[in-house]
């Protein structure tokens, strides 16, 4: 993840789940009662509170309960929880406007009651504009269609004011005694309202309608302006992204996948499977490596790819991180089915053998590779630790694997250990290994050297032991559902341990602490482990609400080190002879595509940085026109 992508992902900390609708409604009524005590003067506190509940709280309740069914009837998808929270927020806006107007009349004696009613008109129009903006973002409908549910709260408040201000008497045109009686009972109840409402006249409602149209137009201009760059460069609407992003973080919806599917591109990716079976034919362990990035976040797209892949194994599943970046995120969870089907197809093609080579290490520049041959196939694991890196790009991984195959190997499983990074917040270059970089050539050279050493290395029988602890740690602590998994290979007189932690990268130095602790623990028993490597899955379920949530940042590193040493010892006690085999197939899937992730993130960050200033300019312009309209009327 680049710094730009991190800036976007970090915004998730501002998103929260909407409270239950009844909690929002109850709080709205309490706020309305308190506001009534401050706004009305009936002589009794309870009477003032009741008037506040009636004139301020009732429109909020009406909007809470009616907006969702009206919006859904028109093809929207607003939930009751969101609808009630929106109504409560708008009530707060209206109360703040009225309180400000009341305070102004106290401070400035020249301002009279009419100023307060003018502020009320502006407040009701502002409520309409805010609701319109939110409904455009959440339901994705046209301005005209979204204006219908958006107007409910303003219309309900205006209706109550209309009835209890006695405005109907200015509009009544006659119709007989019965009609006159019905009008007085239903539409004209000025005698039961606060006296101050009597100052409202019919023209005030005309002004309210004019301001609603004006503010609605301002909202449309604002949305069109910030949406245009998205439509020109990505062919999608920014509101679609905003709706999906908020829905996923706040309520766990998969709306964001619909957006990603629109911008996705077809890609062909290798899926490599390395399987180990016991003498009775049962599977001991299975390494599965699709060249896909497990992102973008949470369970959206391929975010939970490691767990889905690991669950398909009959034995203990190991899904290490592939050499791929965010451009190779799957756009929807449905694409995972194609990956799993391809992995199963490759698994069925495997031809097993009972020999393997000892592991070897090769280093070129900062790149270190540990490799082990299984028959005519090769498993390589690359790390740059203790130097910090993030993802190895897809093209770099393909090139490094091609270099390894040049030594005569059939299939190559090249995993990115992804085990040392110092975060994204204060660093511009977070260590992506991209084509043409020095690190990319280091990796290709190290992969070639390791393959050359292993091509003629002696082969011996394989013994494999595994161990697994799902751990009590949660994704918000940086550990995914697969916990910690260990595979120990004994080939001849050499022992190699691979530790796989279900997380997204590691705090600097933690990988080296684990390696040293495993070796020290083994040496204490006079049965050394010759080689150790620590990998992470890059599982993005740990990044639903945090852009940076690395292994070792939130949990006790000492506890993790102790757990790994115990698991390695357990895996060594599980050693038994196995056969190994590897095969690869290609899957066609839809991924984000070249540079789409960076383009998306940069556009979103630009909207965030410029949107506030633009919104301020639009609000000032609308308010200035409002003042002119009031002066003219």
Residue 587: C-alpha distances to residues 44, 295, 590, 591 (Å): 74, 18, 10, 12
pLDDT digits (tens, 9 = 90+) for 149-207: 999 999 998 888 777 765 555 555 444 444 454 455 555 554 555 555 555 667 778 88
Q: What is the distance between the alpha carbons of residues 294 and 415, in angstroms, rounded to a whole number?
A: 13
Q: Is the pTM of this model over 0.85?
A: no
Statement: residue 606 has pLDDT above 90: no
- Any bridge partners for residue 579, and if so which? 277
- Looking at residue 256, its pLDDT comes to 73
Strands (E), 291-376: 316-318, 355-356, 360-364, 367-374
Statement: residue 427 has pLDDT above 80: no
Question: Can you read off the two tokens belonging to residue 614?
Answer: 């633009």
CA dihedral (281, 282, 283, 284) positive or negative: negative
Q: What is the mean pLDDT of residues 232-244?
A: 73
Contact by Cβ (8 Å): 121, 204:
yes
Q: What is the distance between the alpha carbons of residues 228 and 251, in angstroms, rounded to a whole number?
A: 28
Maximum CA pair distance of the chain?
A: 110
pLDDT digits (tens, 9 = 90+) for 538-584: 998 888 767 678 999 999 999 999 999 999 999 999 999 999 999 99
- Looking at residue 438, its pLDDT comes to 95
Q: What is the distance between the alpha carbons of residues 83 and 62, in angstroms, rounded to a whole number?
A: 10
Distance of CA 170 to the CA centre of its chain: 55
- Helix ranges (DSSP H) in 186-237: 202-233
**Where on the phi/psi map is residue 414: left (φ > 0), alpha (ψ -120 to 50), or beta?**
beta
Tell which wins on pLDDT, 410 or 117: 410
- Looking at residue 14, its pLDDT comes to 47
Question: Can you read off the two tokens belonging to residue 138?
Answer: 């959440």
Describe the crossing of helices 113-139 and 58-73 by its angle, rounded to 10 degrees: 30
Mean pLDDT of the chain: 84
Question: Can you read off the two tokens belonging to residue 413?
Answer: 């499983």
- Looking at residue 179, its pLDDT comes to 45
Q: What is the distance between the alpha carbons of residues 286 and 318, in angstroms, rounded to a whole number?
A: 6
Pairing of strands 412-416, 377-383: parallel
Residue 171: C-alpha distances to residues 188, 194, 202, 330 (Å): 11, 21, 8, 62
Quote the percentage of the chain above a pLDDT of 70. Answer: 81
Burial class (CB in 10 A: 0-12, 13-18, 19+), 393: buried
pLDDT digits (tens, 9 = 90+) for 341-396: 999 999 999 999 999 999 999 999 999 999 999 999 999 999 999 999 989 999 99
Question: Can you read off the two tokens belonging to residue 547?
Answer: 């852009």
Strands (E), 309-392: 316-318, 355-356, 360-364, 367-374, 377-383
Contact by Cβ (8 Å): 337, 365:
no
Q: Where are the domains positioned within the chain?
A: 19-225, 265-592
3-state class (DSSP) for residue 147: helix
Burial class (CB in 10 A: 0-12, 13-18, 19+), 302: buried
pLDDT digits (tens, 9 = 90+) for 485-511: 999 999 999 999 999 999 999 999 999
Contact by Cβ (8 Å): 121, 211:
yes
Give every CB contact of residue 624 below 8 A, 6+ residues apart in sequence: none
Pairing of strands 283-290, 316-318: parallel
- Looking at residue 503, its pLDDT comes to 95
Contact by Cβ (8 Å): 376, 607:
no
Q: What is the distance between the alpha carbons of residues 494 and 527, in angstroms, rounded to a whole number?
A: 10
DSSP result, 438-501 = HHHHHHHHHHHHHHHHHHT---EEEEEEEEEE--S--GGGT--TT-EEEEEEEETTEEEEEEEE
Tell which wins on pLDDT, 120 or 471: 471
Phi, psi values for residue 612, rounded to 5° = -65, -45
- Any bridge partners for residue 293, and if so which? 329
Pairing of strands 494-501, 531-536: parallel
């Amino acid at each position: 993840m680049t710094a730009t992508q991190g800036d976007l992902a970090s915004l998730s900390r501002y998103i929260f789940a909407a409270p239950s609708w009844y909690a929002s409604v109850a709080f709205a009524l309490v706020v309305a009662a308190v506001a009534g005590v401050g706004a009305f003067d009936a002589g009794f506190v309870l009477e003032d509170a009741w008037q506040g509940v009636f004139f301020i709280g009732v429109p909020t309740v009406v909007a809470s309960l009616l907006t969702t069914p009206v919006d859904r009837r028109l093809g929207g998808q607003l939930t009751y929880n969101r609808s009630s929270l929106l109504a409560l927020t708008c009530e707060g806006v209206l109360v703040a406007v009225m309180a400000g107007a009341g305070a102004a009349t106290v401070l400035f004696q020249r301002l009279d009651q009419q100023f307060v009613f003018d502020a009320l008109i502006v407040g009701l129009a502002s409520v309409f504009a805010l609701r319109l903006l939110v409904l455009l973002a959440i339901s994705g409908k046209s301005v005209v269609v979204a204006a219908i549910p958006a107007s409910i709260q303003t219309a309900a408040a205006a209706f109550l004011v209309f009835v209890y201000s006695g405005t109907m008497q200015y509009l009544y045109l006659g119709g007989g005694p019965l009609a006159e009686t019905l009008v007085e009972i239903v539409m004209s109840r000025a005698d039961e309202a606060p006296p101050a409402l009597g100052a409202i006249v019919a023209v005030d409602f005309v002004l309210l309608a004019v301001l609603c149209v004006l503010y609605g137009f301002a909202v449309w201009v604002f949305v069109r302006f910030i949406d245009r760059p998205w439509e020109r460069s990505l062919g999608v609407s920014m509101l679609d992204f905003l709706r999906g992003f908020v829905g996923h973080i706040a309520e766990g919806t998969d709306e964001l996948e619909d957006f990603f599917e629109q911008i996705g591109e077809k890609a062909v990716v290798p899926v490599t499977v390395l399987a180990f079976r016991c003498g009775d034919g049962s599977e001991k362990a299975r390494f599965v490596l699709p060249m896909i990035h497990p992102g973008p976040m949470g369970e959206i797209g391929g975010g939970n790819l490691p767990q889905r892949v690991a669950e398909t194994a009959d034995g203990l599943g190991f899904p290490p991180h592939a050499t791929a970046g965010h451009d190779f995120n799957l756009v929807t969870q449905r694409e995972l089915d194609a990956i799993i089907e391809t992995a199963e197809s490759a698994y069925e093609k495997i031809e097993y053998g009972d020999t393997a080579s000892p592991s070897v290490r090769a280093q070129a520049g900062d790149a270190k590779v540990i490799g082990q041959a299984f028959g005519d196939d090769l498993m390589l694991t690359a790390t740059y630790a203790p130097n910090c890196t993030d993802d190895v790009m897809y093209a770099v991984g393909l090139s490094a694997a091609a270099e390894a195959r040049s030594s005569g190997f059939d299939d190559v499983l090249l995993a990115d250990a992804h085990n040392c990074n110092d975060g994204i917040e204060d660093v511009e270059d977070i260590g992506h290994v991209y084509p043409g970089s020095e690190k990319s050539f280091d990796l290709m050279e190290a992969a070639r050297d390791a393959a050359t050493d292993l091509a003629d290395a002696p082969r011996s029988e394989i013994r494999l032991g595994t161990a697994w602890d799902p751990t009590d740690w949660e994704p918000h602590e940086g550990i995914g559902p697969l916990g910690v998994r260990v595979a120990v290979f004994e080939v001849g007189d050499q022992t190699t341990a691979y530790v796989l932690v279900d997380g997204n990268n590691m705090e600097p130095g933690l990988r080296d602490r684990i390696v040293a602790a495993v070796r020290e623990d083994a040496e204490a028993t006079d049965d050394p482990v010759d080689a150790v490597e620590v990998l992470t899955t890059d599982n993005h379920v740990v990044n639903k609400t945090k852009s940076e949530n690395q292994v070792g940042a939130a949990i006790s590193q000492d506890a993790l080190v102790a757990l790994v040493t115990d698991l390695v010892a357990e895996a060594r006690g599980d050693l038994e002879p196995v056969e190994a085999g590897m095969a690869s197939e290609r899957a066609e899937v839809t991924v984000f595509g070249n540079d789409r992730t960076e383009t998306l993130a940069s556009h979103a960050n630009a909207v965030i940085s410029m949107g506030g200033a633009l919104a301020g300019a639009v609000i000032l312009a609308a308010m200035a026109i409002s003042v002119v309209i009031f002066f003219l009327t």
